Amino acid sequence: MRIVFMGTPDFATETLKALIESTHEIVGVVTQPDKPKGRSGKLQETPVKEVALQYGLTVYQPERVRDPEFMQILRELAPDVIVVVAFGQILSKEILTLPKYGCINVHASLLPKLRGAAPIQWSVIDGDPESGVTIMQMDEGIDTGDMLLVKKYTLDAKETGGSLFDRLAAFGGPMVLEVLEQAQAGTLHPVPQKHEEHTYAKMLSKETGRIDFKQSAVQIERLIRGLNPWPSAFAYLGDKTLKLWDADVVTSEQAAGEGIPQAEPGTIVSVTKENFLIQTGDGYLSVNELQLSGKKRMETSAFLRGYALQEGIRLSEKPM
């Protein structure tokens, strides 16, 4: 098949590589425009662009794929199918219907659950027992098209947003190749989504990681894992940002059995050489790994060797 690939972030690169190594012909790669990064403002290429250029593929970076000038380019490329993975722009009906086999999308959730921008992280934050990848025939809605292939993955008890990202990114390529094979053979069996059961994975921001210690320890521990490595869960120790990278849940019953006192949510109630406990709205967090602003990410035991953390100190949602 003649394929146009549309994608932007790291998650899309594994699928692109699988298509490159297949018997299909990639006639063009479309990705978002380069953006300035850091204080220098130097333009940063997208991960998809970097991979495409390594393999000598032609890259297009339109501000808007629906602009007439780019639409003419797409028509001239004459793709049999457009494969879309986390591209970042909404495709018009004209684009969706241009190829013989339409546009197929790799989405990192078990649709109709977690449509939207950040399904991987929200799957961990929500405490889902399983996630997966859905290959979908795109329509004009947001992740509403018929499902062509689904693969499930059972989350590990300590799954992070980063580890789930890596797992699901590896699913995309083989699944797309299977769908393309079925399309050529005429054996696809599209399954409509149960739209009434859909949920939405809203975009992440740094603010998403602000910890509310009035929530339960279970909820906060999932937030910590879901936002690892980005944007990270955080609170404030005095006027300094304290990122929490790993923690365990300690129930109120367990703590009571060890003589741990109760306190206001956010209060550090116990400090040992290895870790410390934070009171939450229900239960406690035992912090294993953290990062104080201006310092490196480190295990709590290393942090405590250089920082005299006192019981009774209260972590807060805002700098004190």
Q: What is the pLDDT of residue 39?
A: 75
Say which DSSP state 309 is in.
-
Q: What is the pLDDT of residue 42?
A: 85
Which residues are bridge partners to 270 per DSSP? 277
pLDDT value at 305 more than 80: yes
Helices 10-20 and 47-54 pack at an angle, to 10 degrees, of 20
Q: What is the pLDDT of residue 292?
A: 97
pLDDT value at 40 more than 80: no
CA distance 42 to 225: 31
CA distance 42 to 254: 52
The chain-wide mean pLDDT, for the chain, equals 96
| Exposed/middle/buried for residue 105 (C-beta within 10 Å: 0-12, 13-18, 19+) | buried
Q: What is the pLDDT of residue 157?
A: 96
CA distance 243 to 236: 8
Summarize pLDDT for 144-190 with one digit per residue, the tens: 999 999 999 999 999 999 999 999 999 999 999 999 999 999 999 99
pLDDT band of residue 41 (cuts 50, 70, 90) is confident
Angle at alpha carbon of residue 198, lines to 194 and 204, rounded to 5°: 150
Summarize pLDDT for 117-131 with one digit per residue, the tens: 999 999 999 999 999
pLDDT value at 38 more than 90: no
